[in-house]
Amino acid sequence: MPTRDVPVYPRYRQLLHWVSAALIFLMIPTGLIMARTLDDGLRLALYQTHLLAGWAIVALMLVRVVLRVRRPMPAPAGLAPWNRALHGGVHWAVTLVPLALAASGTFAILQNDIGPLLQAGSPPPATLDVAQARDAHQIGAYLFVALLVMHVGGVLRYQMTRGDVLRRMGVRRAA
């Protein structure tokens, strides 16, 4: 397998990446289950977890946007121009789409007056009455999962065909 010089992200950016990824992967099952469960206690806990993780992701993504603008990292070596553009676009989208998801989730909470219920420790209804923002959030979430699959697929493709790109994010090869 050919190897190319791949610039490594600093540790703090690796940490931001992996903490963001862990929180995003927490969001997927909490969102899917909270939208389907009839158990009031579970639904309340999942809404609270989803909301807390979502705002943590917003904070992390805002930091990542600032870093991406102030200290950009070059794309891995050897990418064709179309692939370099796709690389940049996917990385920006993976950073910005969670902010749009936070906005649509917030609008769903506001539209359905769920905030006071969550603050009071009362479970939100199993079915939301006003569906526009909820539907936008749900569609956006499914599109974001597709984007994540594209991102991971691109990383794995480069890793297998061109070099040790996982090293950029602190993943070391087995000796």
Q: In the predicted model, is pLDDT for residue 167 greater than 90?
A: no
Residue 5 in any domain: the answer is no
pLDDT range class, residue 174, cuts 50, 70, 90 = low
Token pair, residue 96, equals 């910005």
- In this predicted structure, the answer to whether residue 5 has a pLDDT above a threshold of 70 is no
Asked, for residue 1, whether it belongs to a domain, the answer is no
Q: Which domain holds residue 90?
A: 11-169
Q: What is the pTM of this model?
A: 0.87
pLDDT of residue 3: 47
Contacts 24+ apart (CB under 8 A), 64-71: 64/13, 64/16, 64/17, 64/20, 64/95, 65/95, 65/96, 67/13, 67/16, 68/92, 68/95
Say which DSSP state 146 is in.
H
The C-alpha atoms of residue 27 and residue 89 are separated, in whole angstroms, by: 23
Confirm whether 144 is domain-assigned: yes
- Please check whether residue 174 lies inside any domain of the structure: no
Residue 149 lies in a domain: yes
CATH number at residue 155: 1.20.950
Indicate the number of domains in the chain: 1
